[in-house]
Amino acid sequence: MLNTVIFDLDGTLLDTLDDLSNSVNYALYQHGLPQRTQAEVRRFLGNGIQSLMRQAVGQDTLSEADFDTVFRTFRAHYVEHCLDRTQPFPGIISMLQQLQDHGIKMAIVSNKLHEAVQELNRRFFSDYIDIAVGESATVRRKPNPDAVHCALEQLGSRREEALYVGDSEVDWQTARNAGLRVALVEWGFRDADFLHTFSPVSFFARTADELTQWTIEHKG
């Protein structure tokens, strides 16, 4: 039986790469550090923005105090520019509409701060999704399963009824830690060949339409 879908946010529902890359390179430039390509930033994503910036800066390049200064510059710029080019991936809105029409319960879990996750959900997905959970004092970052457990509790769903949908190794591990089936999408921040090295995976989705049809077919 499948009646619930828990979605990752960045790289799964939302294409945030341009805005993140621009803010990363703004912060690096402001502090005299080498710029990063978009491909590098894409590879650094998945474990939250502090991990993103630590990899962008480079291990052991700066003292902790200097890193904090760079990170604050990045965060301030991203807060101002996080919606410049961010938008849902192609087919996402249609997918959410169809899943809603078929009675599928849905939630978002993310490694962004809880308030930011809720705001992005309100802006882009609130017609379809009511539950959005991010990192907080009581919810640890993925791959800890806290956010998934919180979402399932709010939805009134059991893990046996739920599918986790993400785009990275962090999402695969999160689903494993939470005891959920997992589908990995190939349009996000990891290459398809890399994603196919993970097992077990219930479904690899090349498009949102494929994911929609698979989910509806497996609805309990």
Known catalytic residues are 8
CA distance 217 to 220: 9
The owner of tokens 């339409």 is: 209
The owner of tokens 């994503």 is: 45
Helix/strand/coil for 195:
helix
Which residue from 117, 61, 124 is spatially nearest to 95, judged by alpha carbons? 124
